[in-house]
Amino acid sequence: MDLNQHLNLSQRQQLSPILLQKIQILNFNQDELIAYLNSKALENPFIEIKLPRTSSELAPVDQDMGWIPDDRKSLRDHLIEQVLLTYRDTLIREMIFWWINQLDQKGYSTKSIEEAVEETKADKTLLLDALVLLQQLEPAGIAARSLQESLMLQTERDHTAPETAYIILEESFQDLVDRRWKLIADRYRISLQEVQSVFDYIKRLDPSPGEQFQSNLDTTIRPDLIVQIKNQNLIIKEAKLNTPVLSFDQDYVSGLNAHSDEEVLSYIKDKKQEYQNLQESLKQRNETILRVGTAIVNRQKAFFFDKTSPLQSLQLSELAEELDLHESTISRTINGKYIQTDFGTYEFKFFLSRKLQNEGADSLSTHSVQQKLQKLIANENKGKPLSDQKLVDLLAEEDITISRRAVTKYRKQLDIPASSKRKRFDS
């Protein structure tokens, strides 16, 4: 009995690192997996990794534009180039360069005039003049010290701006944000429709003028599964081009084996076992993702044929029971994993929605209720937007019984403002 317990304990201790590796690898998204495998390849000289192909490698030879250099400028380089072309080498130009170095990635100044004086020991007027000159450069709205100032700078240079836009931004910005539009209309003796047009114009301005110079290279999503429709059937397959492939350098091993050194042979054996464990972990990861993804797709079939179809209620516990897997395994599987469709790429989590217990009807998913809310609000009279209580009443007419608090919560999740902030005066 004691011996068996000892053996079981030894087996658990021996398997623990492998199980830990399988758990880690299942939890990784594609980018994290690549980084992890690269680190393993550094530790094991016999492991070779074939990484996912880049977009230029996937393109036909006659359309490969990889040879064209990327001449994207940073915001700093873009501004410095303008300064060198526009201003002579004077002290004020040096101060413009100083201000450029104080901009954040959105293009806003991170220093006040007082802080600039303290740091540079330069004259306050000189620093203010340098800042004003910087604010005249492209893009419009650059080097502002607040959102209000950035919008004013953009409006000042836009000849198509509504006549009262600049003065409203300058004197009544908070009233405009808080939609105290009657107060604004009375103050400037204009109509509510004119205030509405100013508000609509300002919404079209860029709140972060510097971000257009930020690289988008890191935002690429690598899907794990691809779902396609063929002959009215859903085809689910692994996105193999996005998955790294491991191999073992047998030629290198053969060269070392020729020495017949026991220490070398033992080292090779250990490294080959590491490789095999890694391959097994990858295989299990891919199989689990495919199993879970297939189960999700089958439960949400209607959506994959028509993305306007509401999602069915689906929870981790239901998937775990269907697939005979632990909920924690399902949770790791859907973490950071994506499904590519003909009409977009969606995270696995998107397809899971808790049940909404609804009196007098079947259980609904929160997603389906949110879709109904969106539709009601999209079709409302913009001159008299629907209050949350009115939305509750309209949903009740469709046998969906939820509280006003729930409606408010779902509306906020959809990033839809309250009825008072949806009201328009040109409807």
pLDDT reported for residue 396 = 86
pLDDT reported for residue 12 = 45
Instruction: Report helix angle 124-135 to 113-120, nearest 10.
Output: 120
pLDDT reported for residue 161 = 94
Q: How far is it, in rounded angstroms, from Cα 171 to Cα 146?
A: 14
pLDDT at 404 over 70: yes
Task: Write down the residue that tokens 């203010």 correspond to.
Answer: 128
Rg over alpha carbons for the chain, rounded to the nearest Å, is 30
pLDDT tens, position by position, 86-124: 888 889 999 999 999 899 989 999 999 999 999 888 899
pTM: 0.55
DSSP assignments along 355-419, one per residue: EE--TTS--EEHHHHHHHHHHHHHTS-TTSPPPHHHHHHHHHTTT----HHHHHHHHHHTTPPPH
Of residues 180 and 66, more confidence is placed in 180
* DSSP reduced 3-state for 50: strand
Q: pLDDT confidence of 175, banded at 50, 70, 90?
A: very high
pLDDT reported for residue 368 = 77
Of residues 230 and 356, more confidence is placed in 230
Q: How far is it, in rounded angstroms, from Cα 365 to Cα 353?
A: 6
Phi, then psi, of 229 in degrees rounded to 5: -105, 120
Give the number of other Cβ atoms within 10 Å of residue 141's Cβ: 26
For residue 268, give the DSSP letter. H
Average pLDDT on 244-252 reads 82
Judge contact between 36 and 25, C-beta under 8 A: yes
Q: How far is it, in rounded angstroms, from Cα 335 to Cα 309?
A: 24
